[in-house]
Structure 1
Amino acid sequence: MDIREVDLNLLVVFDAMARHHSVNRTAEAIGLSQPATSAALARLRLLFDDALFVRAGAQMEPTPRALELAPAVRRVVEAIQSEILQPAGFEPATAQRSFTILTPDIGEVAFLPGVLRRLRQAAPHVKLLAVSKPRTAAATALENGEAELAVGFFPDLQKAGYFQQALFNTTYVCIACARNEAIGARLTLKQYLGAHHIVVRPDGREHFLDRFLEDKGWHRQVMLELSHFMSLLALLPGSDLVATVPQDIATVVGRHIPLKQIDLPFRPPQIQVQQYWHRRMQDDPANRWLRGLFYEVNRRDAGGQMPS
């Protein structure tokens, strides 16, 4: 018997007959007319080359072949009803799964604390894995399901096949150790370019600010290049170094070490922070819930500050 030639609706009729032992009651249970149910029973008999159900008094009793088939047919019908035909859903309170988020270390300190607090309340068994990848690798990770969401500045994902949602706009600020007397509250462009700079390029990525300065033909005196913003916590105190960093990094670093913020001698570029997901995840309930959570926790109005 070739399954391609089998009408699976016949199994629903078989299952109902096995439970109700009546053509009329089966018809009522599955919403068919009595003639249609009788016709389906005739097709079942032909399919299995067996009478399957025969009249015995007021009921249709199963044959040995029908008794043999009944448990397996019941399992198939239940599986279709409970596992295949049920609408997709996601229950955060009971879900036990892990989500992978693409975000640089700035995202880990800026976006995840608030999300984690919400998870502990609404989804206590859900885990997050934060991964930092070069921008060019982010698309592959989202396409193949290695990650569910990318949060941050990912201009390479602004293309067909991806959805994006804006969270907030931010900009760059210049910071230095609060005890750095060589640096005042304001710098001329010459003083800024001549200062001793720490430059942070996570995963070796070219930063938005780098392109901005290069386009203007301005070149800083870079003394140290780092891969992680949080290294500034150890390197700025007691030094004459300055760092030009996204506002959120300045906020986080300033919570741990004494800083001074220096007015830049130019208007720095704006950074649009967004979350991105691949189109195959657009209608996935779990992904929809996850990005909704990130949006609720991290969205800011213009001028809004990073939550504490």
Structure 2
Amino acid sequence: MLGTSPASGQTIPWIHRIHAMDIRSVDLNLLVVFDAMARHRSVGLAGEALGLSQPATSAALARLRATFDDALFVRAGTQMKPTPRALELAPAIHRVVESIQTDILQQAEFDPASADRSFTILTPDIGEVAFLPGVLRRLRQEAPQVRLLASALPRQAAAQALESGEADLAVGFFPDLQKAGFFQQGLFKTSYACITCAKSGPRVERLTRKQYLEARHVVVRPDGREHALDRFLEAKGWRRHVTLELSHFMSLLALLPGTDLVATVPEDIATVTERLVPIRRIALPFKAPVIDVQQFWHRRMQHDPASKWLRGVFYDVNRREANAGLPR
């Protein structure tokens, strides 16, 4: 085949013939064998490097020759010398093989110490108070440039945010995420406590059921979510006298003192509230339901290194033994 030299305008024979190939007809495994042959110049050594038998390596070499319509490697003494076509192909094939190994097949790593990124955590304000302080202390030590965005979303929006990748993790009581497509990991089990103002609230150690239902209740339902307690009372046919309904637990800090309101809240909220304002606990007239506090993530993040690290931090920091309260 003849071509024209750009410099002289003379016709010269092309050293290499260019073959149009459909990439679908090329077995990429053969490129790995080619790269090994180009480096070792020996069928036996190339096979050893790849963990292939000599017959299997010879068969692969035969397929390479057919694919490129060139001898590629020719025996000369104790070595297999590359043909001009093989010398031309070797650098490009090595780059392809190296790129597949390093950029595609090698498991990505996440280095928290050098990471400069943010994670979005779905949790109500109870989670911000109970889960984040310990996590932030851990991040300060291990991942100083990592940032957290805590957000509370309605039920359906939470699932969609995890599915789309807008959120990385949901931490708390999310019974609606216990479905196909999501992974979950338990952190601890807790229950409910009844709290009231230490000075103005009901002056009893334990409420009867009648007293409990007739008391002036403040109920917190973050983003309209119902609680296990709501379902428990509804199943019993018991209706509380609800004076005030809130969407944030921390509003109790300002609303309980100086009133006769009572609030039945998760144990962690009771602990935080009594640390900050003068309240006291009143024994409930029934055994309150158990709350399973878990972390949830979408299945597409199951093997993501950054997500695995984040889940590990939340688990290590917030995992509790049975009946253990909120740590200081």
Shift of 1:243: 1.7
Task: Tell me the distance in 1 between the aligned counterparts of 2:52 and 2:228.
Answer: 65
2:81 counterpart of 1:60: yes
Check the 8 A contact 1:93/1:122 in 2, yes or no: yes
Counterpart residue number, 1:266: 286
Q: Could you tell me which amino acid in structure 2 is paired with residue 127 of structure 1?
A: R
2:135 counterpart of 1:115: yes
Cα 1:184–1:45 change in 2 (3 A) is same
Cα 1:79–1:219 change in 2 (3 A) is same
Q: Which shows bigger deviation, 165-174 or 71-80?
A: 165-174
Shift of 1:115: 2.0
Check the 8 A contact 1:103/1:130 in 2, yes or no: yes
**1:188-203 → structure 2 map (5 Å cutoff):** 188-203=208-223
Write the deviation string for residues 156-206 of structure 1: whole angstroms up to 9, x where unpaired: 233344433332222221222233165444433333333332211100112
Task: Tell me the distance in 2 between the aligned counterparts of 1:97 and 1:284.
Answer: 15
Cα 1:26–1:81 change in 2 (3 A) is same
Residue identity over aligned pairs, in percent, reads 73
Write the deviation string for residues 112-152 of structure 1: whole angstroms up to 9, x where unpaired: 21122223323334433322222333333333433333221
How many residues end up aligned between the 2 structures? Answer: 307
Task: Tell me the distance in 1 between the aligned counterparts of 2:297 and 2:26.
Answer: 40
Instruction: Pick from 165, 171, 175 the counterpart of residue 151 of structure 1.
Output: 171
Counterpart residue number, 2:267: 247
Task: Tell me the distance in 2 between the aligned counterparts of 1:49 and 1:118.
Answer: 60
Instruction: Pick from 33, 38, 45 the counterpart of residue 18 of structure 1.
Output: 38
Cα 1:43–1:302 change in 2 (3 A) is closer
Task: Tell me the distance in 2 between the aligned counterparts of 1:174 and 1:23.
Answer: 78
Counterpart residue number, 2:232: 212
Counterpart residue number, 1:124: 144
**1:1-308 → structure 2 map (5 Å cutoff):** 1-21=21-41, 25-32=45-52, 37=57, 39-53=59-73, 60-63=81-84, 65-87=85-107, 89-180=109-200, 183-308=203-328
Scaled by the length of structure 2, what TM-score is found?
0.79
Shift of 1:305: 0.8
Q: Could you tell me which amino acid in structure 2 is paired with residue 113 of structure 1?
A: P
Cα 1:56–1:201 change in 2 (3 A) is same
Gaps of 5+ in 2: 1-20
Larger radius of gyration: 2
Cα 1:237–1:62 change in 2 (3 A) is farther
Check the 8 A contact 2:196/2:202 in 1, yes or no: no
**Cα-Cα RMSD:** 3.0
Task: Tell me the distance in 1 between the aligned counterparts of 2:61 and 2:188.
Answer: 63
